[in-house]
Every structure is written in structure tokens, then in C-alpha cells.
Structure 1
Amino acid sequence: MICVMLSQRLTCRVGRAVSGSAEIIRDLVEGGGSILVIGPPGVGKTTLIREIARILADDQKKRVVIVDTSNEIGGDGDVPHSGIGRARRMQVPNVHLQHNVMIEAVENHMPQTIIIDEIGNRTGSISCQYNRTKGVQLVATAHGITIESIIKNPSLQTLVGGIESVTLGDEEARKRKVQKTILERKGPPSFTCAVEMISKTECRVHHRLDATVDAILAGKSPLFEVRHLDAEVCRKDLEVNNLARSAQPTEEDHAVEAKATIGTTEETKVESDSEEEYYYPKSKKVSSSVSVSKKSYPLYVYTYKIQEADLLQVAAVMGLEEKIDATDDIGCADAILASSYEMKQNPWIRGVAKFHQLPVFVYKSTTMAQMVKAVRMILGMDSFSSVQKQSNRTSSDIEIEDDEPIRKPSLEEIDALEEVRLAIEYIVIPGGEPVELLPRRSEIVARQLELVKSYQLAVKNSGTDSNPRLQILPQKLNKKTSKTSSSFVKYVSPKSSVAGGGGATSVVRLPFLPE
């Protein structure tokens, strides 16, 4: 089968109808789900869907319509090639009219399955979403190495549901143990499963495309199944791989994990200049948000061995495209963004950063979650409290606290803090009446006192030293009152409330507010 495309140049391609090439995913084809085939050029995607069209049309007796964008499935002759079986072919006169032919196929030909070759633009992706709502089985191909590359492609995001930036509340972010601004899937994907073509005889199968996309956006490793096709006996050898794409960690992976990374829920660091640390200049002021000290926008980031489109896409989804931009001139950059592996292999980056006095932000892998974290760190949007540690060398290492809570509160603490919240929001503020809380342990009373102060309300101790309890007053706590209260009683932290040794304990003295 020869395909000839006439434009400014003459292109001839010879297609091969290989019988049995779709046996590796025959169960997915017969299952009735929509399948997205992903792979680089020349890996056998078109040959695979040509055989899928024949199986569905001849073996399954379905009404199959092929949207042959470049005439590579059925050829460009008046009579389609016999390799597609009884499937009906619809030729596309122009690549830009692919979406019109897809919609026409659903409206006029009543297909049960539509085979689409080479979806490469946004209109084709939207048409797939439209056809999915009509209850038609879709089998399509798209250029990309993995599903993550499809997510990063703005034109093909709709195939996997699209992505959007979501801001969570404090309680929801604490429950999920993630940062407040995350990337989530915008809607259901157009396909139920996806196949990543590694070679003509090997592929990775994602049975649930929606779960895979959610895992990638959350910075986790998706579950997939590796399949091998034995060409001699034409059978499938299934290997269930419940681990990530790197199932066996190498020595380099362990070396990278030992370094500080920018993770979704792992601790984040800005490295300094040493053998295992990256440079952060002393001349610049280190703020609590670890951001680049620049008043004017946009901030220019020099990305080393990173596609600038990935950074700009994340910034666009977050609505920050006017505040951050990428540059290939390190002299004009305000910060450097690189992976920990590249920093290890190329130590000269630290010297260049030191010469230009630029902060270096290091991440572990190019996941969407870590890119969001990096953008927020560079712009100083995350309220981290950095601790500068002095090492034996002259360099400084600035650590940023994790988004996860340091200590998981007990049920008693949660109940006590919820009691304070309900009392303030339902009685003290609306009704203007004082509320006396239940007696608690001194450590929990201290936590209650901090929560009451966050509402800017006055409070007094209505209990005894051995049995403290708070009374919330409907009075606003101003700065003068808070300064005066600190002069009466010295506040003791919960860590020092228990005296070491023996059974003797010292009770925390709570501050009394003046009348």
C-alpha cells in the first residue's frame, strides 16, 4: 500500500498490513473501551490501528469508520486497501478539516467505532470529546512518548481531560497533605484506556486513563501493565508492574534522592555552594518565602536541560504568565531552575550561579506538581519559614519547611480546637456573649489560646492552676492589650510545661488580660 501526499513536495510512504499486530491489546479492543495509542514516529501506531480496524469490522461485525487524515491507513486510491477489512474509510481533504470529518462521521454514518489517525491539534481533541458524548468507541493515535508528554502538550490536553489550577482550603490541603495550589484534571478524558508503544513488540497499558492522569498531576507514579508480544508464537506475555516506570532504583537514583529536592509533599530545599550543596548568595536578603528579591515583573528563570514550554505552561495554568518568564541568557536571569541530577553531573552551574549571584532551585523530576511548587517558590507565594544552617564551610543551606504538618494532632486536641472555633463563630462573635470552655490539659489550653488570639479576641483563665480553663470574651484584642498582658505573666511554651524527673509537674501559666 503506497500513500502519496502532494503539496509543495512529493512524499511517498509504503504502509504494511501486518496480520496479528493487534493481538497484544486484543482484549482492550474487544472490551469496547476507547483506546488512545501513544508513541514516537515509526514505532508502529498506524499499523496497529489498521489491524484494529480490521478486527472490529470483520471479526466483531461492527460498523467501523476510519477518519484517514493522511491516507496512511487505507491508502489514497479510490478503493481502500484490503488490510482494513469491511471498515469504511473517510478521506480528509485537508488536515485542518479533520474535526469536521469526525463530526460528519458521527452524524451521517451511524458508526459504532471511529478510527482516527494522528490527532495533532486542539480542534481534533475537542472533536474527540464531542464524539465521546455520543457513545461511540474511539481508537486514535497521537505523537508522544508517554501520557505525561500529552498532558504537557496544550493542543492535546483535552484528550486526557485537560488540566486546571485549583486552590484548596487550609483544612482540605491539610487533609490531603499537599500544598494549597495544585493541578487537577478538568474533566473526564476522551478515552478510557491508553497504550504507550515502546516498540513494535512491547507496550505499556494504562487500563484507567483518568486514574493515571490524576496520579501524574499529583506527582505520584501511575499503575500500568507491561506487555510483550512473542513474534514466533504470537502470544502475550503479561507482566503486571505495580511500581513506577523505574521499578528497580539505580545507584544514581539513590544519589539523587540523597539530595534536597522540590517535591509535592517532600521537604524542599534551596541548595548552597559546596560539594553536595548549591549556591545561594549571602549578599541577597533571604526572606521567609525564599523568593527572588525583585520588585518588577516578570521574573526571568534560566532553565537548564528543561523545556521552557513546561515552565510557561504551568505558569499559564496558574494564571501567573505575566509574573514569570523563561530566558536562555543566564546573565539576564533572576533565578536558575535545574534538576538535581543535572546539578550533580554539571557542577559548573554552581560556579556560574555564584558569579552572577543567582539562587538555584533544584527539583527531582519534571512532574506537574513539582513544577507548580517551583513556580510558587520562585515567586515567593508559599509562606515557608526558612532556617539557615551554619556548616563547617562558609556556605549557607536554606531549608524550607514541608507542607505537611510536623506533628499529627491527637483527637483530644482536634476536639478542643473545634470547641473553640464553634464557640467563637456561633456564640461570641454573633451573640456577643462570653463562653467558658471545658477544662483541658495545659498543653491543649495553650493551643486553644493561640487559636483564640488568631481571632483577635480577648480571653482569660477562669480555672485554677491545676485545672486551667479558658473563658472567651466578646472583646477585640488590640496591640496595646496584648503588650500589657505579656508584662503580667510570662508565657511558658507547651514543651517546657512538664518538668523532667519524678512525678512533679509544673502547670503552664496563662496570660491574664487587664480589666
Structure 2
Amino acid sequence: VLPLHIRQALLEQANNSELLEIVLDLGRPPEARYPYQEVMLSHIEVTDSDIEHVVSRIGCFSGDNRAGIERTLHRISAMRNREGRIVGLTLRVGRAIFGTVKIIQDLVESGKSVLLLGRPGIGKTTMLREVARVLADDSKKRVIVVDTSNEIAGDGDIPHPAIGHSRRMQVPTPTLQHAVMIEAVENHMPEVIIIDEIGTSLEAEAARTIAERGVQLIGTAHGNTLENLMMNPTLSDLIGGIQTVTLGDEEARRRHTQKSVLERKAPPTFNIVVEMLERDKVTVHPDVGLAVDAILHSRPQETEIRWFDENGEVRRDKITTSLAPKKKEAALQRETPKIYLFGINRAKLEEAARERGVALEITSDIKQSNLLLTAKNYYHRKPQKIRDAEMAGIPIYAVKSNNLPQLRQCLDTIFTPQREPPSSALAEAEQAINQVKEGKGPVELSPQNAYIRRLQHLVAERHGMASHSLGKEPKRRVQIIKG
């Protein structure tokens, strides 16, 4: 396929077993790309005749400017100028690598739908190819590959042996991929459908339709992590979709959050998400619904890291990742909040702040604020200012009525930090008791509510220590001393 001088220069390279792609751009020297380096193959610039030499020996380019070589897995992509003339080619090397699926074989054989994420070129399509072969040949399932660019099973009408006994459906143009996905389910009774590069809302909707019919889906999407997918409005439906909901006052106070929060909209299309970190290392989210909820609520989430060791065995390690608090909430804890008032009496709010001993700054510019305070009746009408605040992600607090008790309660919600769970508070008491036993004097614990303080007093009494409470709410705390 390549011109003679480029082919000879390529054969002189020592590491062609790792070759990723060859780049031919008009008027530039040809390049060979490897995982960790790029090599200039010749100082002679690529000419029109070089490009024509390659184009004349490959298949026709499809609507997405991709072509292949019949009965192989290689892919050739074209770059065109304004007139439609080809001025650049990317020749990507396709390989059937056996054993790559071993790292996630238990997941794909479980019958659950699996979505592979990772940067371009990391090996998502290679793994799909191996998944198709294993499920069709080893698990004896009816597998159909929807091959939009003929990249999974190669160019031509006969699919490459790398997909085993899987059947391959070709797609006339990339815009019809969603229609072929539905056609595969309706006409050919598959147990598994394999799709490469889900990238449009129509394809995401087709994937959900297929999953709801009980067919297992194995697919890929561009995006390095689950968080990337959540921020993509086109593809977020694959993991359940994200929507804004409005909480009631009690629920917002219980969560220590604003009234408008993000929630998952529906069950995810894919049950499992696999993030490909490297060719031989992946992160597994075994329950996508729980993982998305944990990210939205800033809760720790459990993931599993898998990798191949030097002996080719799969190693696993479960880790818990803690997410940092949202920027808006962290800003409220670090500095004096700048509050924009909408329908709230400024004098009453300042009086409530003096009574509570808290500092706040009232601003007349909503863009400079990091919190909006309003009354419930205004909030339900959704005037422009409140809509602007929601669009900007500014936390909104709504009080039932514009009076001192309600404003005091609102300030308590804003300025009272989220309480530690009882187990952490009791562990702190145990640690303080040990310090007192070592002669380090009286030890004060973190402020807690009355119920947890009572538990801490009981812990001290059980260890023969004396304890009493200091300070005023909400900073009332327990001090432990020798009995």
C-alpha cells in the first residue's frame, strides 16, 4: 500500500511490532507513530503521487472519510481540503490481540451491559474485537457486531476471523448507526450487541431501547472517566442522565446543601463502566447507578483497579475515592459569605447575624455573591434574578417568612458545619481519653449536638474519666479530665 521509499524506511525501524499509525500529510515528511515516540521516516516531503499511490490500493472512503484494506483490520482515514481533494492520510494499524479481554472477562460474561471508556488509541476497539470472539465462541451466545466504520471486523464483505463466529452488520453511513442498531435487535434475535463509538443522542437513545429489551450491550464512548461522561449532555443518558431538582426546606437542611441540586434522572443504560487507564490497567465501576449518585452527592465511592502483573495474571485492588466538596460550598466554609437578598429585610437579617455572632457581607450585585437568600413565595414564582442564580450555580436559601426566627434558623443552617457521624465522634472521645491517661491534661472534643455529647459522656464514664460540656450552641463541646 505504501510508496516504496516510505515502506523501506519503515522496515528499517526496530520496534514495528508497536507501530500505532503512519501519517502522510501533503508537503510534510512522512511520520511513524509509536506509543512513546514519533519517527520521521524520510526527509522527502509527501507528494500528491504518494497519496494517490495509497488511495488507489485501498477500499472506497465512507461518509466519515474512513476506508480499509479488505480482510485486514487496518484503517485509513483521509483529510480533505475545501474542494474535497485528499491532502492527508492517517494509516492506523489494526491488530487482533488475544488475551486482552481476560482483565474484564468475568464482567462481559455476567450478562450485564458494559461501557468502555478511554482516550483514542488506548485499545478500546481491540478489546471489543476480543469480547465479540469470546462471547460467540466460548460462551456460545448470539453476538452481532454493529460495525459502522468496518474497524472491528475489517473492510470487505467477509468479516475478519478475529471476531470468531459473531455476525457483523455494516452501516451505510455513520448517521444511520442508530437505525442499524435497532434493526439488529428486531430482525436477528441477538443475545449480545457490540457497538463501537456511541457518539450521538440518537445512538444513546437506541442503546437505551436495546437495553430495555433485555439484550446485553458492550460498547465504547470517547471520554477518559465516568465524570467526563456525566458532563457530556449528549452521552450522559448512557449512565442515567442528570437533571436539576428542587428540594424542600427540610430536605435541603438535612443534606446541608442548596435547594437546587443535581440528581440522576433514570436507571443507567450500562450497568458497568470500565475506564481504560492503560492497555493493561483498568478502573471498574461495578454499579454505575451507585457511582453516579456518589459523585453527585460528593460521597466516597468504591471502585476496583485491575491490572496484569509480570506473569500475565490479573490483579485486583478495591479502593475508596473521596471527592472534594463542591467549590461553592467550600467557599462558604472558608470565607465570609457574600449574600444577595431578594425580598428579605436587610435590617432583620443583620440583627439575626448579630444574635448568632456570625459575620456576613450583603452585596447588591448577584454576580459578586456566592449565596442568594429569598422568601419561599418569591422562590416559587421564579423571577429572573433567581433563574440567573440557578444558571450560575449559586446556592439558594429560601425562608418561609421574612421574620427573625426564620432568619436565625437559616443562618444556623448556613454556618453550622455538617456533623461527623457518631462513630467518628466516639472514636475522638476514645482518643482523648487515652491522651488524658498519658497525663496530657484536659482535652476538648469537637462541637457536637446534644445526643452525641451524651454518648461521649457515657464513654468517658465507662473509662472512669470525668467530663463536662463547655460553650454555647452551636459550638457546645465536651471536655474530658481525670476522674
Once the 2 structures are TM-superposed, how far is the Cα of residue 229 of structure 1 from its aligned partner? 1.4
Instruction: State the match for 2:302 in structure 1.
Output: 223
Q: Give the whole-Å Cα distance in 2 for the aligned partners of 1:78 and 1:184.
A: 45
Residue identity matched to 1:376: I
Q: 2:171 aligns with which of 92, 110, 134?
A: 92
Once the 2 structures are TM-superposed, how far is the Cα of residue 220 of structure 1 from its aligned partner? 2.3
Distance 1:87 1:261, change over 3 A: closer
Q: Give the whole-Å Cα distance in 1 for the aligned partners of 2:386 and 2:417.
A: 34
Once the 2 structures are TM-superposed, how far is the Cα of residue 170 of structure 1 from its aligned partner? 1.5
Paired residues of 2:149 and 2:171 also in contact (CA < 8 A):
yes
Distance 1:404 1:119, change over 3 A: farther
Instruction: State the match for 1:166 in structure 2.
Output: 245
Instruction: State the match for 2:397 in structure 1.
Output: 382
Paired residues of 2:249 and 2:398 also in contact (CA < 8 A):
no
Once the 2 structures are TM-superposed, how far is the Cα of residue 58 of structure 1 from its aligned partner? 0.5
Is 1:242–2:313 an aligned residue pair?
no
Once the 2 structures are TM-superposed, how far is the Cα of residue 401 of structure 1 from its aligned partner? 6.8
Instruction: State the match for 2:74 in structure 1.
Output: 2
Distance 1:63 1:166, change over 3 A: same
Q: Give the whole-Å Cα distance in 2 for the aligned partners of 1:179 and 1:322.
A: 13
Partner SS, residue 109 of structure 2: helix
Is 1:19–2:98 an aligned residue pair?
yes
Distance 1:156 1:322, change over 3 A: farther
Partner SS, residue 335 of structure 2: strand
Matches within 5 A, 1:305-384: 324=388, 375-377=393-395, 381-382=396-397
Is 1:51–2:166 an aligned residue pair?
no
Q: Which runs of 5+ in 2 are unaligned?
A: 1-72, 81-85, 339-345, 351-359, 370-381, 400-410, 420-471, 474-483
Q: Give the whole-Å Cα distance in 2 for the aligned partners of 1:97 and 1:88.
A: 18
Distance 1:72 1:292, change over 3 A: farther
Once the 2 structures are TM-superposed, how far is the Cα of residue 178 of structure 1 from its aligned partner? 3.0
Partner SS, residue 238 of structure 1: strand
Distance 1:92 1:5, change over 3 A: farther
Q: 1:421-445, CA deviations, whole angstroms, 9 ceiling, x for partnerless residues? A: xxxxxxxxxxxxxxxxxxxxxxxxx
Matches within 5 A, 1:170-181: 170-181=249-260
Q: Give the whole-Å Cα distance in 2 for the aligned partners of 1:131 and 1:124.
A: 10
Once the 2 structures are TM-superposed, how far is the Cα of residue 79 of structure 1 from its aligned partner? 1.1
Q: 1:243-276, CA deviations, whole angstroms, 9 ceiling, x for partnerless residues? A: 348xxxxxxx9xxx9xx9533798363689xxxx
Q: 1:170-212, CA deviations, whole angstroms, 9 ceiling, x for partnerless residues? A: 2222333433211000000001111000000111000000000
Q: 1:156 aligns with which of 219, 231, 235?
A: 235
Q: Give the whole-Å Cα distance in 1 for the aligned partners of 2:156 and 2:256.
A: 58
Q: Give the whole-Å Cα distance in 2 for the aligned partners of 1:405 and 1:84.
A: 59
Q: 1:379-428, CA deviations, whole angstroms, 9 ceiling, x for partnerless residues? A: xx3369xxxxxxxxxxxxxxx875485698xxxxxxxxxxxxxxxxxxxx
Residue identity matched to 2:132: A
Paired residues of 2:100 and 2:127 also in contact (CA < 8 A):
yes
Distance 1:406 1:263, change over 3 A: closer
Distance 1:181 1:22, change over 3 A: same
Instruction: State the match for 1:79 in structure 2.
Output: 158
Q: 1:89-134, CA deviations, whole angstroms, 9 ceiling, x for partnerless residues? A: 1112211111111111111111100001001111111111111110
Once the 2 structures are TM-superposed, how far is the Cα of residue 216 of structure 1 from its aligned partner? 0.9
Paired residues of 2:274 and 2:282 also in contact (CA < 8 A):
yes
Residue identity matched to 1:146: T
Q: Which runs of 5+ in 1 are unaligned?
A: 246-252, 273-284, 302-317, 326-371, 385-399, 409-493, 496-515
Matches within 5 A, 1:244-283: 244=322, 262-263=328-329, 267=333, 269=335
Residue identity matched to 1:178: T
Distance 1:215 1:16, change over 3 A: same
Residue identity matched to 1:269: E
Partner SS, residue 308 of structure 2: strand
Once the 2 structures are TM-superposed, how far is the Cα of residue 165 of structure 1 from its aligned partner? 0.6
Once the 2 structures are TM-superposed, how far is the Cα of residue 15 of structure 1 from its aligned partner? 1.0
Is 1:200–2:279 an aligned residue pair?
yes
Distance 1:115 1:216, change over 3 A: same
Q: Give the whole-Å Cα distance in 1 for the aligned partners of 2:392 and 2:291.
A: 23
Is 1:211–2:290 an aligned residue pair?
yes
Instruction: State the match for 1:293 in structure 2.
Output: 364
Matches within 5 A, 1:383-462: 403=414
Instruction: State the match for 2:149 in structure 1.
Output: 70
Partner SS, residue 267 of structure 1: helix
Q: Give the whole-Å Cα distance in 2 for the aligned partners of 1:319 and 1:223.
A: 41
Q: Give the whole-Å Cα distance in 2 for the aligned partners of 1:154 and 1:292.
A: 33
Once the 2 structures are TM-superposed, how far is the Cα of residue 242 of structure 1 from its aligned partner? 2.4
Distance 1:267 1:300, change over 3 A: closer
Instruction: State the match for 1:307 in structure 2.
Output: none
Q: TM-score, normalised by structure 2?
A: 0.56
Corresponding residue pairs, total: 302
Paired residues of 1:4 and 1:76 also in contact (CA < 8 A):
no
Paired residues of 1:174 and 1:404 also in contact (CA < 8 A):
no
Distance 1:117 1:270, change over 3 A: farther
Distance 1:242 1:322, change over 3 A: closer
Q: 1:355-383, CA deviations, whole angstroms, 9 ceiling, x for partnerless residues? A: xxxxxxxxxxxxxxxxx797224xxx336
Q: 1:452-500, CA deviations, whole angstroms, 9 ceiling, x for partnerless residues? A: xxxxxxxxxxxxxxxxxxxxxxxxxxxxxxxxxxxxxxxxxx98xxxxx
Distance 1:290 1:159, change over 3 A: farther
Paired residues of 2:253 and 2:413 also in contact (CA < 8 A):
no
Q: Give the whole-Å Cα distance in 1 for the aligned partners of 2:175 and 2:275.
A: 26
Paired residues of 1:166 and 1:184 also in contact (CA < 8 A):
yes
Q: 1:130-165, CA deviations, whole angstroms, 9 ceiling, x for partnerless residues? A: 111100000000111110000000110110110111
Residue identity matched to 1:210: G
Partner SS, residue 57 of structure 1: helix
Paired residues of 1:228 and 1:237 also in contact (CA < 8 A):
yes
Residue identity matched to 2:116: V
Q: 1:56-90, CA deviations, whole angstroms, 9 ceiling, x for partnerless residues? A: 01100101011112221111222111111111111
Q: Give the whole-Å Cα distance in 1 for the aligned partners of 2:123 and 2:242.
A: 29
Q: TM-score, normalised by structure 1?
A: 0.52
Instruction: State the match for 1:120 in structure 2.
Output: 199
Identity %: 43
Distance 1:66 1:404, change over 3 A: farther
Instruction: State the match for 1:446 in structure 2.
Output: none
Distance 1:226 1:64, change over 3 A: same
